[in-house]
A and B are shown apart, each in its own frame.
Chain A
Amino acid sequence: MFYNILQTRNLVPDVNLMKVEAPDIAKAAKAGQFVILRIDESGERIPLTIADFDVDEGSITVIYQVMGKTTKQLTTLKTGETLQDFVGPLGTPSDIRKLGTVVMVGGGVGVAPVYPQARAYREAGNHVISIIGARNEEMLILEDEMAEVSDELYVATDDGSKGHHGFVTDIVKDILDSDQQVDRIVIIGPPIMMKVGAGVTASYGVETLVNLNPIMIDGTGMCGGCRVSVGGETKFACVDGPEFDAADVDFDLMMSRLSFYRPQEKEALESYNKKCGDDCKCH
Chain B
Amino acid sequence: MSLKQEMPEQKPEERIGNFDEVALGYTEQQAVIEAGRCLECKNPQCVAGCPVNIDIPGFVSRIKNKDFDRAIGILKESNALPAICGRVCPQEEQCEKFCILGKKGQPLAIGRLERFCADYERDAGVKSPEKPKSSGKNVAVIGAGPAGLTAAAELAKAGHGVTIYEALHEPGGVLTYGIPEFRLPKDIVRQEVDYIRNLGVDIKVDYVIGRIKTLDELRDEFDAVFVGTGAGLPRFMRIEGENLNGVYSANEFLTRVNLMKAYRFPDYDTPIKCGNKVVVVGAGNVAMDAARSALRLGAEEVTVVYRRSEAEMSARIEEVEHAKEEGVVFNLLTNPVRILEGENKTVTGVECVNMELGEPDESGRRRPIPIEGSEHVIDADIIIVAIGTSPNPVIFAGSEELETTSKGTIVVDEDAMSSLAGLCAGGDVVTGAATVISAMGAGKQAVATINRYIENRS
Please give the residue numbers on chain A whose beta carbons come within 8 Å of chain B beta carbons, in ascending order: 1, 24-25, 28, 33, 38, 42-45, 69-70, 84-90, 217-225, 227-229, 234, 239, 252-253, 256-257, 259-261, 264-265, 267-268, 271
Contact = CB atoms under 8 A, between A and B. Distances in A.
Interface of B: 167-169, 204-208, 211-213, 232-234, 236, 238, 242-243, 245-246, 248-249, 251-252, 255-256, 260-261, 264-271, 273, 344-346, 392-394
B432 to A, nearest CB: 15
A89 to B, nearest CB: 6
B222 to A, nearest CB: 15
9 contacts: A42-B267, A90-B208, A217-B255, A217-B270, A218-B167, A224-B234, A228-B243, A253-B345, A264-B266
Given A256-B344, A260-B273, A223 B212 contact: no
Contacts of B242: 234
Contacts of B211: 28, 33, 88-90, 220
Contact of A253 (B207, B243, B266, B268): B243
B256 A261 contact: no
A85 B260 contact: no
Given A24-B212, A222-B232, A223-B255, 15 more contacts: A25-B212, A42-B261, A42-B267, A42-B269, A45-B169, A88-B211, A220-B208, A220-B232, A234-B243, A252-B345, A257-B245, A260-B245, A264-B265, A264-B266, A267-B266
Contacts of A252: 345
A59 to B, nearest CB: 15
B252 A1 contact: no
A1 B167 contact: no
Contacts of A45: 169, 260, 270
**Interface majority SS (helix, strand, loop, mixed), chain A:** mixed
Contact of A229 (B243, B252, B394): B243
* B169, B236, B248, B268: most-surrounded residue (chain A CB, <10 A): B169
* A88, A217, A219: most-surrounded residue (chain B CB, <10 A): A217
B232 to A, nearest CB: 4
A69 B269 contact: yes
B345 A261 contact: no
Contacts of B344: 256, 259
B345 A257 contact: yes
Nearest to A37: B206
A165 B34 CA distance: 82
B321 to A, nearest CB: 29
Given A28-B212, A220-B394, A38 B249 contact: no
Contact of A261 (B236, B238, B273): B273
Contacts of B252: 217, 223-225
A28 B22 CA distance: 45
Q: 8 tightest CB-CB pairs across the interface, nearest first?
A: A264-B271, A44-B269, A223-B252, A222-B232, A256-B345, A224-B249, A87-B206, A271-B266
B233 A222 contact: yes
B256 A217 contact: yes
B270 A44 contact: yes
Contacts of B265: 264, 268
A256 B256 CA distance: 20
